[in-house]
Amino acid sequence: MTTPPYPVIRLRPNAEARAIRHGAPWVFDNEIVTDRRTRALAPGTIAVLEDSDRAPLALVAVNPASRIMARVLDRDVTARIDQAWLTARLARAFGMRTRLYDTPCYRLIHAEADGLPGVVIDRFDDIAVIQPNAAWAETLLPDLVSALRAVTGVATVLKNATGRARALEGLDDQSAVLAGAAPEAPVPVAMNGAVYMADLTGGQKTGLFYDQRPNHAFAARLANGARVLDVFSHVGGFSLAALAAGAEHALAVDGSEPALSLAAEGAARMGAADRFATRRGDAFDVLTALAEEGATFDLVICDPPAFAPSKKVLEAGLRAYERIARLAAPLVAPGGYLGLCSCSHAADLTKFRAACTRGIGRVGRGGALIHTGFAGPDHPLHPALAESGYLKALFYRL
């Protein structure tokens, strides 16, 4: 068997080669023989991973500076990781999205689950935003951009370098325009009958959270004629979908004034400005204040940031989710609905559900869990990587 001229790295004798053979996408630094030659490999180097008996397992991207020292790229060790290889991976992902969505607005690449580990690409019609959160993708970025434009036909490609993942890889935080010209204003995106304004250069992450699309749609089914409270609203994810479905009124709460301004602009574009209001402030404080004011709503949704981004802070995160449920439940009118979301991969569904149910019960409320939601199919789950199935949404009728 002829293999490309890639360097070789090897698993330690006690490392679990079977996990790689069964699809595990990551190899940690304590599983690899880290001799002087291996430690000298430049971040982003492509290498052949062998087991301790020198049998080849996969082509991997190596970063000696990262806890995830090797990311599996291809089980075929004779493959060449080049622009043609990137084009094939992108085309496969693109083909699935075009089957799923009738508008060109979706997550095109969801990292490991789409075969491009550490890479996130969101598409906004003629614009794509890349988060190259692994060293190998940063190294091959020109080829990735060329392949992306060839497959999708987008004219503009932006690089978003914000976020914790790049720091863990030893990468910089310098965002850039990689092709075309950056939009001069927020970009309107139509989803679930609503219009969302996405700030692709100054907003959070890539500018919009596509992962909640199916959960927005479910909440909208409960919203006709309802008074809605959307906490941690960002640019109005749940509240604008509710207004599109006929909500009587929606109040969006967030700590970011720019995000709330974008939400208000979206409501105005939908012709729903008179049914929409915003309130800036810390979510915990606003929930407490609304209770003191005697406010109630037919539908309350809380979609906080990751309170438990790692196992180290899992217990503190679960307490925060419980507190949110405890503060939100009294605001739900009898017979109304409460939606609680988590994007913390460290808090699995069972733990998250237990924390939410405990919080609801501690204020004397009870009811049925009527729906459990997850990310949309443009955020596929890698079956051997629990982290890729991070999003949970629970809907209770109280």
**Phi, psi angle pair for 239, to nearest 5°:** -70, -40
Q: Report the alpha-carbon distance of residue 214 to residue 189 in Å, rounded.
A: 15
**302 given a catalytic annotation:** no
184-187 long-range contacts, Cβ below 8 Å, gap at least 24? 186/262, 186/265, 187/124, 187/125, 187/127
Q: Report the alpha-carbon distance of residue 344 to residue 305 in Å, rounded.
A: 8
Q: Report the alpha-carbon distance of residue 152 to residue 183 in Å, rounded.
A: 18
Go through 169-181 and write b for each residue having 16 or more CB atoms within 10 A of its CB, e for each that does not. Answer: bebeeebeebbee
List, as one string, the DSSP characters of 224-290: TT-EEEEES-TTTHHHHHHHHTT-SEEEEEES-HHHHHHHHHHHHHTT-GGGEEEEES-HHHHHHHH
Q: Report the alpha-carbon distance of residue 323 to residue 356 in Å, rounded.
A: 8
Active-site choice (105, 341, 343, 356): 343
- Residues 6 or more apart whose Cβ sits within 8 Å of residue 138: 44, 132, 169, 171
Half-sphere exposure of 69 (CA within 13 A, CB side): 19
Structure tokens at 178: 């990689």
Residue at token pair 């092709």: 179
- Residues 6 or more apart whose Cβ sits within 8 Å of residue 39: 64
Active-site residues: which are they?
Answer: 343
